[in-house]
Amino acid sequence: MRILFVTASRIGDAVLSTGLLAHLAATYPQARFTVACGAPAASLFAAAPFVEKVIPMVKRKHAGHWRDLWKQSVGTWWSLVVDLRGSALAYVVPTARRAVLKSSWEPKHRLYHLSSALRLDQAFAPVLWNTPEQMARAECLLPAGSPILALGPTANWGAKQWPAERFAQVALALTADNDGRIAVFGAENERASVQALLAALPAPRTIDLIGKVDLATVHACLKRASLYVGNDSGLMHMAAAAGIPTLGLFGPSSEIFYGPFGPHCAHVRGPRSFEDICHAPDYDYRSQECMMQDLEVGTVIAAARALLERAP
């Protein structure tokens, strides 16, 4: 049995789809899976024991990436094609069954929308996989010792990136009593935007992992943290998948759709709702200026401590 699973190009959306993929693998344990996803997320699927092949989709002009995927999949008879991008691919490759996600703005978590492609009304929490080598590498980078606070201070849109200096204040407050270490995650091209954070943290307790490890190893590192605090991003969903207490910071994105999902997750925002921000007369979706200035440091610290109190 062969299943083609077509998922998102963005890391966060790809991570959210992993729960549905794991559900399919449990439902069809004899199946061999091919996963097509955006190139940045490809390494997240490679370690899954049931995934036979990962096809990185590199965006090309005139939908050339879809033609490339068609060429790589048309020669196989698929038992099932699951297309979470709502494309026409499932209708032009040979398959016994197809499941294509339809767009919806119904106000419920994105996980429910993804499951609707299979006509299921259930949210499957994200789950990621690691190789023994990745776990060993994470242990070297984050050895056992004092607690580790993981920070995700970046985002794919400047408007939903909380100020770096406020992350520093939160980190210092949360680690003041336990001599905790602070691990900072992000891509190398995001380093400049969080330089103020790195400069404000105590060097002996700071673990700078920005741009230094591949995405799958990032997940292995997150498993070793005691708490994650970060913007609405792919890293936030990876932290939730790692099973650690995860606090997501929200502004011009919806926690209803994209809040971190799991029993040890929480979200926080300032006094303005998503609708207040995005329906304001001066709202500009093209702006890279932070739209989260009303989220106070004290609010985030209190939310983080409350999350830790209820975590096992």
Q: Is 123 inside a domain boundary?
A: no
Residue 186 and residue 68 share a domain: no
Cα(291)–Cα(56) distance, integer angstroms: 33
Give the residue numbers spanning the domain of 24.
2-117
Residue 208 and residue 86 share a domain: no
Beta bridge partners of 50: none
Which pLDDT does position 113 carry in this prediction? 97
Which pLDDT does position 62 carry in this prediction? 86
The domain that holds 19 is classified in CATH as: 3.40.50.2000
> Are 115 and 27 a contacting pair, CB within 8 Å?
no
Residue 293 and residue 170 share a domain: yes
Q: Is 122 inside a domain boundary?
A: no
Residue 229 and residue 92 share a domain: no
Mind listing the pLDDT tens digit of every residue in the chain (312 residues)? Answer: 999 999 999 999 999 999 999 999 999 999 999 999 999 999 999 999 999 999 999 988 988 999 999 999 999 999 999 999 999 999 999 999 999 999 888 999 999 999 999 999 999 999 999 999 999 999 999 999 999 999 999 999 999 999 999 999 999 999 999 989 999 999 999 999 999 999 999 999 999 999 999 999 999 999 999 999 999 999 999 999 999 999 999 999 999 999 999 999 999 999 999 999 999 999 999 999 999 999 999 999 999 999 999 987
pLDDT single digits (tens) 81-129: 999 999 999 999 999 999 999 988 899 999 999 999 999 999 999 999 9
The pTM of this model reads: 0.96
Residue 294 and residue 210 share a domain: yes
DSSP per-residue letters across 214-229: -HHHHHHHHTT-SEEE
Residue 180 and residue 40 share a domain: no
Residue 156 and residue 105 share a domain: no
Q: Which residues of 135-169 are buried (b: 16+ CB within 10 A; e: fewer)?
A: bebbeebbeeeeebbbbbbbbebebbbbbbebbbb
Cα(25)–Cα(244) distance, integer angstroms: 24
Residue 300 and residue 258 share a domain: yes
Pick the last residue of a domain from 117, 146, 170: 117
Tokens at residue 13, please?
Answer: 């959306």
Structural element, H or E, at residue 150: strand 148-152
Residue 64 and residue 87 share a domain: yes
Cα(191)–Cα(199) distance, integer angstroms: 11
The count of structural domains within the chain is: 2
Which pLDDT does position 65 carry in this prediction? 94
Q: Is 268 inside a domain boundary?
A: yes
Residue 306 and residue 227 share a domain: yes
Residue 292 and residue 155 share a domain: yes
Residue 184 and residue 89 share a domain: no
